[in-house]
Structure 1
Amino acid sequence: MIRTEIQIRFNDMDPMRRVNNASYSAYLELARLDFCNRYLSVSTLEDIPFVLARVEMDLVSSVLPGDSIYVNTWVSQIGNSSWEFSYEIKNQKTEVLYVKAKTIQVYFDYREKKKLPIPNKFRISLEKEMV
């Protein structure tokens, strides 16, 4: 499981003084980037071997100013050409759950503009984070 610390920014807030729901997607993106930094060696954006195909999010509780949060990320399912990340956004001090989410990624060659089966080397990286 990968833990990604999140810094809440002023522009993440909405007029009701809580983190805006759109900001949670950005936090999940940071968590996916954390996965890439651990397992991929990319020199250009075209080297990132996947495209985001689906996002599913349950907002359980509001993140408020002053909350310290993190994202737990793990692989919950692996298919032939796609896999699922699961996430929890939680409070660092109280472990209160704010968000449960899932995303589906498709192994994709941006140069060829087509999906491909997940190569064995990449599958091994996914399996290391499978829960």
Structure 2
Amino acid sequence: MSQPGSSKPVIRLDDYPYRLTDNVRFGDQDPNQHVNNASFAVYFETSRVSLIRAPAFGLMPEGLSWVLAHLAIDFKAEVHWPGTVELGLAVSRLGRTSVTYDQVIFHNGICAASAVAITVLVDRHTRKPAPLTDDVIAKFQPWMRRAPSA
């Protein structure tokens, strides 16, 4: 679905199966009195890490770890303190050793930023990429990208 007069699809938080809320901190602001771009990267990290490291989801195989290989952010609107942000995450691709995430930040009902992030599974000792296990692939399925809402 696109916005009227636009070929860009509407970004909807409901299309992201993993969601959480985070606080906008006073220290997230820059001298322009809006949230600094580096803080957006931290919000995106918060959603990825809270999913990957939650023991209930089982996405941390023994002896392996996740490292960030790529992060591309599109800034769409300012965020201001005080308040909260709604974070959305969807897995868009499972590679041989990597996971690609589509992520969004909403503030006051408006998409303030979107990102694509890629993490790579690595052996903790050799620091070399490790193939995703069948178990990890299965456990990522609930977080796969949903079809855009109509």
Does residue 118 (structure 1) correspond to residue 150 (structure 2)? The answer is no
- Aligned-pair CA distance for 1:40: 3.2
Partner residue, 1:39? 57
Secondary structure in 2 matching 1:122:
helix
Any residues of structure 2 matched to 1:99-114 within 5 Å, and which? Answer: 99-114=113-128
Any residues of structure 2 matched to 1:1-131 within 5 Å, and which? Answer: 1-35=17-51, 36-37=53-54, 38-40=56-58, 49-91=65-107, 94-131=108-145
Secondary structure in 1 matching 2:24:
coil
Secondary structure in 1 matching 2:33:
coil
- Residues 52, 104 of structure 1: 8 Å contact kept: yes
- Residues 96, 131 of structure 2: 8 Å contact kept: yes
With normalisation by structure 1, the TM-score equals 0.88
Letter in structure 2 aligned against 1:98: A
Letter in structure 1 aligned against 2:58: L
Partner residue, 2:7? none
With normalisation by structure 2, the TM-score equals 0.77
**Count of equivalent residues:** 126
Partner residue, 2:9? none
- Residues 74, 115 of structure 2: 8 Å contact kept: yes
- Aligned-pair CA distance for 1:108: 0.8
Letter in structure 2 aligned against 1:79: G
Letter in structure 2 aligned against 1:4: L
- Aligned-pair CA distance for 1:66: 2.8
The runs of 4+ residues in structure 1 deviating greater than 6 Å are: none
Which of structures 1 and 2 has the bigger CA Rg? Answer: 2
What's the C-alpha RMSD, in Å, of the aligned pairs?
A: 1.7
**Between the two proteins, what is the percent identity of the paired residues?**
25
Letter in structure 1 aligned against 2:80: L
Change in Cα spacing, 1:47 to 1:3, as seen in structure 2 (3 Å) is farther
